[in-house]
């Protein structure tokens, strides 16, 4: 260790050698800091909703890790290999091969992004009056299930709803809850289990291999299929490698194949794990379901060999899948999230623990404990962070949860969070330090924070476009 007078790196302070990203930067995109006055005006004009800001007015953009990834030189080169034939593009076959090799499913239907796949799966599997159990809702997933006539039932373990609980696999399905549902409504009313790895709304929390194995055993007894939201499944597999007994030495790519083998198919937003800016797919083993999905995709997305994408996008996805499953990539990706999480924890700032795969989630219920949930504390905290430093996050609380279609009332989720999601291969450690310092500044100023009133509320997925105004002091 160096003597006290020499500053130590973060790694040395923690008594370990540092790791670094397995890439270097070849091209840059300038970003700039604005003034506080400018940002106050910008957020007011955006109705205190960070989705309505112009990206040019943002300094560090942690709104989402969706479609915001930096592609590699191999992926950019792959764009030039785009075969833009309407039918039978060679890039489709490359993508099909990549999905078969890494996820293990036989059949592939490309879609323009994840919700295109959710739409098709929901329409072909769910009948009005059905119940769809899942490990916590996701906004677009649940909406498509509801639009198809289904009712989503949350069967995640109780620990997932507690930000401070340190369970290593907070994404796990509570098998007793699922069994109760099956007994209550009957297996014939359950078209599939909607299993997500990792669980976005719970804080990027993983599902264990033991849990999916047990889930398979249970669902097999009733003939219920399991469909996997594989959007961040590589991150999930990294946590299995790090935390689950028996997986320490196994490559993430191998763990991914094993996990997927317990499921019947998946839908994917390739804009996350798969390191592209647009794209998705639906994959499955069942021939009949594939025939239906392939028929449906031509109605809503495009021919079954392009699904709403250009050939070049399919190629970038095929290459991205392979890159995303490399151990050194996934370690540095999650490692960057953990770096911010550890700093905030050291400073006593409440966040969801354990730190998840794609984002840090600030516990707005705790940080703004004086603001009641129907005054949108997480929405207010997101806006305050932007005003402090130009860092853009996203509300993941009562606004995102929307209204109960049966009663029309707000849903009141236990988790009232601000998500700071990390685009892959985009920001450096210095950017992350700036984010940490801004979170700390807003945290220290928390007593001054005020709640919001919703002015405009759209019908579907209101968090994207709702407008707010500050409540009077
Ligand atoms: O944004 P899409 O349509 O490509 O994918 C929808 C979608 C499905 N599942 C999960 C777990 C998601 O996180 C997801 C999209 N997430 C977004 C846009 C996000 O910011 O988290």
Nearest residue by C-alpha to atom 16 in ligand 1: 66
pLDDT of 9 above 90: no
What does the pLDDT average to over 102-121?
Answer: 98
Q: If you measure from the C-alpha of residue 151 to the centroid of ligand 1, how many angstroms do you get, rounded to a whole number?
A: 20
Pocket probe for ligand 1: among 140, 202, 382, 460, the residue whose CB has the most ligand atoms within 8 Å is 140
Q: Please answer whether residues 241 and 248 qualify as being in contact, where contact means their C-beta atoms are separated by less than 8 angstroms.
A: yes
User: Tell me: the pLDDT tens digits for 450-459?
Assistant: 999 999 999 9
pLDDT tier at 303 (50, 70, 90 boundaries)?
A: very high
pLDDT number for residue 380? 98
User: Tell me: the pLDDT tens digits for 118-150?
Assistant: 999 999 999 999 999 999 999 999 999 999 999
Nearest residue by C-alpha to atom 17 in ligand 1: 66
Q: Indicate the average pLDDT of the chain.
A: 97
pLDDT number for residue 154? 98
Q: If you measure from the C-alpha of residue 141 to the centroid of ligand 1, how many angstroms do you get, rounded to a whole number?
A: 8
What does the pLDDT average to over 152-160?
Answer: 98
Q: If you measure from the C-alpha of residue 315 to the centroid of ligand 1, how many angstroms do you get, rounded to a whole number?
A: 21
pLDDT number for residue 13? 81
pLDDT number for residue 6? 80
What does the pLDDT average to over 46-74?
Answer: 98
Nearest residue by C-alpha to atom 4 in ligand 1: 114
What does the pLDDT average to over 289-315?
Answer: 98
**DSSP assignments along 132-156, one per residue:** EEESS--HHHHHHHHHTT-EEEE-B
Pocket probe for ligand 1: among 61, 64, 66, 394, the residue whose CB has the most ligand atoms within 8 Å is 66
User: Tell me: the pLDDT tens digits for 370-399?
Assistant: 999 999 999 999 999 999 999 999 999 999
Atom from ligand 1 closest to the CA of residue 65: 20
pLDDT number for residue 2? 52
User: Tell me: the pLDDT tens digits for 43-56?
Assistant: 999 999 999 999 99
Q: How far is CA 400 from CA 55, 172, 272, 358, 419, in A?
A: 21, 22, 19, 18, 11
pLDDT tier at 3 (50, 70, 90 boundaries)?
A: low
pLDDT tier at 429 (50, 70, 90 boundaries)?
A: very high
pLDDT of 252 above 60: yes
% of residues, the chain, pLDDT over 70 = 99
pLDDT number for residue 420? 98
- Among 315, 237, 305, which Cα is nearest to 278's? 315
Tell me the backbone φ, ψ of residue 223, rounded to 5 degrees: 70, 30
**Residue indicated by tokens 């909703």:** 49
CB neighbours of 11 closer than 8 A, spacing ≥ 6? 17, 18, 19
Residues belonging to the chain: 473
Cα angle value 266/267/273 (rounded, 5°): 100
Q: If you measure from the C-alpha of residue 130 to the centroid of ligand 1, how many angstroms do you get, rounded to a whole number?
A: 23
Q: If you measure from the C-alpha of residue 114 to the centroid of ligand 1, how many angstroms do you get, rounded to a whole number?
A: 6
pLDDT of 1 above 60: no
Ligand 1 environment, Cβ below 6 A: 64, 66, 113-115, 138, 140-141, 196, 200, 229, 231, 269, 271, 280
Nearest residue by C-alpha to atom 20 in ligand 1: 64
Q: Please answer whether residues 259 and 249 qualify as being in contact, where contact means their C-beta atoms are separated by less than 8 angstroms.
A: no
**Catalytic residue numbers?**
86, 138-139, 229, 272, 396, 463
- Secondary structure class of 69 (helix, strand, coil): coil
pLDDT of 273 above 60: yes
What does the pLDDT average to over 153-177?
Answer: 97
pLDDT number for residue 4? 63
Atom from ligand 1 closest to the CA of residue 200: 11
Q: What is the CATH number of domain 7-65+327-470?
A: 3.90.1150.10
- State whether the Cα torsion 304-309-312-315 is positive or negative: negative
Q: What is this structure's pTM? A: 0.96
User: Tell me: the pLDDT tens digits for 73-105?
Assistant: 999 999 999 999 999 999 999 999 999 999 999
Parse the chain into domains and list their residue ranges: 7-65+327-470, 73-324
Domain 73-324 indexed as CATH 3.40.640.10: yes
Q: If you measure from the C-alpha of residue 65 to the centroid of ligand 1, how many angstroms do you get, rounded to a whole number?
A: 9
User: Tell me: the pLDDT tens digits for 18-38?
Assistant: 889 999 999 999 999 999 999
pLDDT of 442 above 70: yes
Task: Give the whole-angstrom CA distance, residue 259 versus residue 257.
Answer: 6
Task: Give the whole-angstrom CA distance, residue 203 versus residue 40.
Answer: 28
Q: Please answer whether residues 109 and 283 qualify as being in contact, where contact means their C-beta atoms are separated by less than 8 angstroms.
A: yes
**Residue indicated by tokens 């647009």:** 278
Pocket probe for ligand 1: among 67, 195, 200, the residue whose CB has the most ligand atoms within 8 Å is 200
């Amino acid at each position: 260790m160096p003597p006290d007078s020499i500053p130590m790196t973060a790694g040395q302070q923690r008594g370990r050698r540092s790791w670094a990203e397995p890439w270097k930067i070849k091209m840059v995109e300038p970003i700039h800091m604005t003034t506080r006055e400018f940002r106050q005006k910008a957020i007011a004009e955006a109705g205190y909703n960070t989705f309505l800001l112009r990206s040019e007015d943002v300094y560090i953009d942690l709104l989402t890790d969706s479609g915001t990834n930096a592609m590699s030189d191999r992926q950019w080169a792959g764009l030039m290999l785009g075969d833009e034939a309407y039918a039978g593009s060679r890039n489709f076959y490359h993508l099909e091969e990549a999905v078969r090799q890494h996820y293990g499913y036989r059949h592939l239907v490309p879609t323009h992004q994840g919700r295109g796949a959710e739409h098709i799966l929901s329409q072909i599997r769910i009948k009005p009056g059905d119940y769809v159990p899942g490990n916590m809702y996701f906004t677009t997933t649940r909406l498509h299930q509801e639009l198809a006539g289904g009712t989503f039932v949350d069967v995640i373990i109780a620990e997932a709803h507690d930000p401070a609980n340190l369970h290593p696999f907070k994404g796990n399905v509570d098998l007793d809850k699922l069994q109760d549902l099956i007994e209550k409504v009957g297996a014939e009313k359950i078209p599939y289990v909607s299993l997500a790895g990792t669980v976005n709304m719970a804080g990027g929390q993983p599902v264990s291999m033991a849990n999916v194995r047990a889930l398979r055993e249970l669902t097999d007894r009733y003939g219920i299929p399991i469909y996997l939201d594989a959007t961040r499944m590589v991150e999930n597999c990294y946590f299995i490698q790090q935390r689950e007994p028996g997986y320490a030495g196994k490559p993430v790519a191998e763990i991914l194949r094993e996990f997927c083998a317990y499921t019947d198919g998946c839908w994917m937003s390739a804009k996350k794990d798969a390191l592209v800016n647009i794209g998705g797919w639906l994959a499955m083993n069942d021939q009949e379901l594939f025939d239906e999905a392939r028929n449906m995709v031509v109605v809503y997305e495009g021919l079954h060999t392009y699904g709403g994408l250009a050939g070049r996008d399919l190629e970038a996805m095929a290459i991205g899948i392979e890159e995303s499953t490399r151990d050194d990539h996934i370690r540095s990706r999650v490692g960057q999230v953990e770096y911010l999480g550890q700093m905030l924890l050291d400073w006593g700032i409440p966040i969801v623990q354990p730190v998840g795969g794609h984002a840090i989630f600030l516990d707005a219920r705790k940080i703004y404990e004086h603001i009641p949930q129907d005054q949108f504390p997480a929405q207010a905290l997101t806006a305050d962070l932007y005003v402090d430093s130009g860092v853009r996050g996203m509300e993941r609380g009562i606004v995102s949860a929307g209204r109960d279609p049966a009663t029309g009332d707000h849903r009141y989720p236990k988790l009232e969070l601000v998500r700071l999601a990390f685009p892959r291969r985009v920001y450096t450690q210095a950017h992350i330090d700036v984010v940490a310092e801004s979170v700390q500044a807003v945290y220290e100023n928390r007593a001054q924070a005020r709640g919001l009133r919703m002015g405009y509320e759209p019908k579907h997925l209101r968090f994207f476009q709702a407008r707010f105004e500050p409540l009077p002091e």
